[in-house]
Amino acid sequence: MTRVAIVTGGSRGIGRAAAERLASDGFAVVVVYGGNKDEALAAVEAITAGGGQAIAAQADVADEHAVEAVFDTAEKTFGGIDVVVHAAGITYLAPVAEMDLDRLDRVHRTNIRGPFVVAQQAARRVRDGGAIINFSTSVLALALPGYAAYAASKGAVEGITLILARELRGRDITVNAVAPGPTATALFLDGKDEETITRMAAQPPLERLGTPSDIAEVVSFLAGPARWVNGQVLRANGGLA
């Protein structure tokens, strides 16, 4: 039986690296994208060119009907769902005193309602023996100024993750979150000058930024061999915090 993974935010960055890594691990992958159709199709093409199985599916992760349709598509196309990786997310940076509240609402819709909607479908439909993997951030431990809205949303993701792990007792489904540190993705690099990037790269004891493949390695571990890791937040940040 082919194992099947749904990866949200799968068109770019960490999500795409995770989708490609899971495909190389033998999963059939549903690459879920919000607006980047061309990049999602490119991810699918890269996977299929390497001999893997993948399809693309569009959804606003905060729309329960769209997410349900993605899960329907996964089941109809590949026969079931074994792993759900929720990597979709957005961020706006501003001090608390200056944060535009409409932007706060958008962050929370995508980063709190989105993970909850995806987790709800995953809890109902992931096959026994599967895995659910969410994304937090090491910013929670670092408490960086300007990140309050983003960190608040990811604190919620950690709460959802730890509680869902306990709610799925008896089904042999693991639920964990990965909390990357600074990782060289378009989302992270956008708007940062070279000095800022160099300074942040020097902070971990390993003295570099993470890469999407570093984080995909952790996803692969949680999706496959890590059957005794459950209800945890893995801080993949090179020793930063």
Catalytic residues: 150
The count of C-alpha atoms lying within 13 angstroms of the C-alpha of 53, restricted to the half-sphere facing its C-beta, is 12
Task: Indicate the residue type of 239.
Answer: G
Tokens at 235, concatenated: 């801080």
Q: Which two tokens stand for residue 185?
A: 């993705």
Instruction: Count other C-beta atoms under 10 Å from residue 234's C-beta.
Output: 19
CA distances from 95 to 92, 101, 146, 198 (A): 10, 12, 4, 23
Widest distance between CA atoms in the chain: 53
Measured in degrees and rounded to the nearest 5, phi and psi for residue 195 equal -65, -45
Sequence-separated (6 or more) residues with CB below 8 Å from residue 185: 12, 13, 14, 212
User: By the 8 A CB rule, do 88 and 99 touch?
Assistant: no
